[in-house]
Amino acid sequence: MKKPFFVMLMCAALVGAFCLPALWAVDAPQDMVLKMPQGTPTKAPVKFSHAGHKALDCKACHHNWDGKSDKGFKCSDAGCHDIFDPANKSDVKSFYKAFHDMNSAKSCMGCHKKAKADGKNAPIACNACHPQQ
């Protein structure tokens, strides 16, 4: 009696772990270029690969996303990181800070810094993400 129940429980766990997440998968672009939405950038745009970050939970970066809608994907969305003034880099709503906050795991630099400390290959030098033009 216990063995069939255990087998059914394991099958349900495997289906839940591997099949169900695919039903809610978002069609994220595989490769994209991250550029400053307005103003004059001081560095080259960043080539970003969603495929290279597939091990992460989408909400690690898209922290205001509800997990269902098409809203809350862009850092530059109104009310999120919509300050584009290069002189104002420290404001929590700064577009710059969304990517470069060394103390936030929601930021590229913060996440890469933590990954590097954990022994993973994560670029943290400016020109690793912003190649010379």
Query: What is the residue-averaged pLDDT of the chain?
Result: 81
80 is in an annotated binding site: yes
Span 69-91, pLDDT tens digits: 776 578 888 888 998 888 888 99
Q: Is 100 annotated as a binding residue?
A: no
pLDDT tens readout for residues 25-39: 556 667 889 988 888
pLDDT band at 14 (very low <50, low <70, confident <90, very high): low
Is 11 a known ligand-binding residue? no
DSSP of 1-45: -HHHHHHHHHHHHHHHHHTHHHHT-----SEEEE--SSS--SSPP
Alpha-carbon distance values, 76 to 19, 26, 80, 128 (Å): 33, 19, 6, 23
Residue 19 assigned as binding residue? no
Sorting pLDDT into bands at 50, 70 and 90, what band is 11? low
User: Residue 81's CB: how many other CB atoms inside 10 A?
Assistant: 21
Q: Taking the domains of the chain in order of start, what are their residue ranges?
A: 27-129
**Contact assessment for residue 40 and residue 123, using Cβ atoms and an 8 Å cutoff:** no
Q: Let me know: does 34 contact 45? Beta carbons within 8 Å.
A: yes
- 63 in a known ligand binding site: yes
Q: What is the domain class of 27-129 according to CATH?
A: alpha beta
